[in-house]
Amino acid sequence: MSKLDSQIEDYLRFSQVERGLSNNTITAYRQDLTEFLDFLNEEDFNTWPTEATDIDAFLARQKDLNKATSSISRMISSLRKFYQWLARQNIQKLNPMIEIDPPKKEKRLPVALTQDEVERLLTQPDTSKKLGLRDRAILETLYATGMRVSELINLTQSNLHSDLRLVKVLGKGSKERLIPISPIALDWINKYEQEVRDPLVLEKNKYVEYIFLNSRGNILTRQAIWQIIKRYCQLAGINKDVTPHTLRHTFATHLLENGADLRVVQEILGHSDISTTQIYTNLTQKHILQVYNETHPRV
């Protein structure tokens, strides 16, 4: 075992015994430091590098191997902690990691459904059954308003202003906002309330204010909504990774694709910063390019 190998082992023992780190964390550290040492051996290093350019060369190798940004970030963190330990042990005082910045996080575009996929999803619940009728009302409400799941499950009778076609929600930071809601969604909510919810409330005599309830008359959970959406996506043959938040993304994307003003969408979604809403413009730009390619006679 080389001197550098021994120092890695000493560091891992310190991390486990003195710092009490988990076995999984120690395994991750070992993997990162072993890869670093393999690189150093290939480059004929006999000591730990003291130049940031040498660290950059190692990280560039990781990128060439198509390592994910998250993996490279973790590796930088592992090396940073290791070099701090080297300095504390008086093994090496020069620390090149102070000049190394973590890679910028990749911005992943949110998944959105096409209008055809939305139509297929909405028509999956069997509305001749009580739960099917409730589920249709839930899906229609999420797509019609773009509200968060937490906002949906906390909707009460007093939040719904059917005559004005508005719904009041309590968003993040306890901020209230009014959202337009479509007549179609209101019709499904009304049908669900008359045929399913109201008789259930009379029977159970609890949660009389909340709109969406489970079969036992209790408030629905976020997990229940997630399961509902997953089940109907599967029935609709939608293979995308769809979550309850996907309908919120889809709502915003479709509004912008059809000409809605970004500030209006920001207000409806309840985003405090418009930069959060602007991520949806990337999705609509893809749509614009697709339409251009499909319709321009010279493309």
CATH classification at residue 186 = 1.10.443.10
List phi, psi (to 5°) of 41.
Answer: -65, -40
Check whether residue 23 and residue 123 sit in a common domain.
no
Asked whether residue 190 is domain-assigned, the answer is yes
Q: Which residues pair with 48 in a beta bridge?
A: none
Active site includes 245? yes
pLDDT (tens digit per residue) in 239-294: 988 888 899 989 998 998 888 888 888 888 888 788 777 777 765 666 556 656 77
Q: From 99, 127, 149, give the residue that closes a domain.
A: 99
Active site residue 13: no
pLDDT exceeds cutoff 90 at 79: yes
Same domain, 282 and 136: yes
Q: Is residue 107 part of a domain?
A: no
Check whether residue 120 and residue 93 sit in a common domain: no
Average pLDDT score over residue span 168-191: 90
Annotated catalytic residue within 168, 177, 191, 271: 271
Sheet holding 166-170, edge to edge: 160-161, 166-170, 176-180
Rg over alpha carbons for the chain, rounded to the nearest Å, is: 27
N- to C-terminal Cα separation, the chain? 63
Question: For the segment 190-225, what is each residue's pLDDT rounded down to a tens digit?
Answer: 999 999 999 999 988 888 899 999 999 999 999 999
Q: Which of 136, 248, 249, 254 is catalytic?
A: 248
Identify whether residues 141 and 198 lie together within a single domain.
yes
Q: Are residues 244 and 130 in the same domain?
A: yes
To the question of pTM greater than 0.85 for the whole model, the response is: no
CATH code, domain carrying 23: 1.10.150.130
Residue 109 lies in a domain: no
Same domain (yes/no): 88, 145: no
Residue 249 a catalytic site member? no
Candidates 11, 83, 210, 280; catalytic one: 280
Task: Supply the range of the domain harboring residue 197.
Answer: 115-295
Q: Is residue 105 part of a domain?
A: no
Residues 82 and 149 reside in one and the same domain: no
Residue at a domain's end among 71, 99, 127: 99
Report d(CA 106, CA 269) in Å as an integer.
23
- Among residues 172, 206, 222, 263, the one annotated as catalytic is 172
Q: Spot the catalytic one: 134, 136, 148, 197.
A: 148
What span, in angstroms and rounded, lies between the C-alpha atoms of 268 and 146? 8
* 126 plus 271 within the same structural domain: yes
Q: Are 160 and 214 in contact (CB under 8 A)?
A: no
- Among left, alpha and beta (phi > 0; psi -120 to 50; other), residue 147 is beta
Catalytic residue flag (residue 19): no
The structure tokens listed for 103 are 């890679």
Give me the catalytic one of 30, 230, 245, 287. Answer: 245
Task: For residue 175, indicate whether it is catalytic.
Answer: no
The answer to whether 248 is a known catalytic residue is: yes
